[in-house]
Amino acid sequence: MTSAAAVRGEAPGVERVFREAYGQAVATLIRILGDISLAEDAVQDAFVVASDRWRTGGIPPNPAGWIVTTARNRAIDDLRRSARRRELLEQLGAIGRTADDPTAEDREPEGPVRDDQLRLIFTCCHPALRTEHQVP
């Protein structure tokens, strides 16, 4: 007889660990991160990774600890990506505000080249680039 976990391609025992450790892992991450949604998503992602890794390597000695550690690391990565995304959006917003400024047209663009496409061509042909990477 084939188990449901085998049919779905999961590692044997992941389903059991999920039932036993999911609630505690989410609770631990909520305490660490302070965000319920982020904690739940991170734990679910950790179980997806576990189903792949544990199929070949077997279940680790402390599966709940493995899940919490993997989920915490994924959540931290997500938080870092979100922070970086916000920084970039703020920078783009500052550029947009400058472009909307009526006095911005009176200013000279940076460098001697005003056309963005021409500036890109000069950048691609810069002598600091290796010859095979330069635009012919």
Judged against a pLDDT cut of 50, whether residue 1 lies above it is answered with: no
Please write the tens of the pLDDT for every residue from 74-91: 999 999 999 999 988 888
What pLDDT score was predicted for residue 136?
56
Q: Whose CA is closest to 51, among 4, 11, 7? A: 11
52, 49, 50, 28: which is closest to 40 by C-alpha? 28
Q: What is the pLDDT of residues 31-74, one digit of tens each?
A: 999 889 999 999 999 999 998 898 888 889 899 999 999 999 99
Q: Nearest CA to 72 among 109, 127, 108, 34?
A: 34
Where is pLDDT greater, at 97 or 82? 82
| Second CATH level (architecture) for the domain 4-105 | Orthogonal Bundle (1.10)
pLDDT digits 0-9 by tens, 8-36: 445 557 888 888 889 999 999 999 998 89
Contact 113, 119 (CB under 8 A): yes
Distance of CA 109 to the CA centre of its chain: 34
